Amino acid sequence: MPEQDLLYQSSPASLFAVQARETPLTCTWTQDDEDSYWAAACCDHLFVFNDGGPVENGFRYCPYCGLELKEAKG
């Protein structure tokens, strides 16, 4: 495939950029409903916070996969 050949010739930096696009460096947590559980994108775990979301509660990284945590309203 021509695209594959291009990949091999590109610099390490751009090669990393391609890999980063394919493998997300963040773990997206989606809230099911307002004041309801959060679902981690990396696994089937559900997490309920008494108040606020994961970032408000100091979850900078996903406890399950270790990637940087990113909130998304579902």
What are the structure tokens assigned to 22, written together?
């394919």
Task: Note whether 45 binds Zn ion by CB under 5 A.
Answer: no
> Can you tell me which of 31, 38, 39, 40 binds Zn ion, judged by CB under 5 A?
40
Residue 70, strand partner residues: 28
Nearer to Zn ion, 65 or 71 (CB): 65
Task: Note whether 47 binds Zn ion by CB under 5 A.
Answer: no
User: CA-CA distance, 50 to 73, in Å (whole number)?
Assistant: 17
Q: Label the pairing between strands 38-40 and 46-47.
A: antiparallel
Task: Note whether 62 binds Zn ion by CB under 5 A.
Answer: yes
Residues that bind Zn ion (CB under 5 A): 27, 40, 42, 62, 64-65
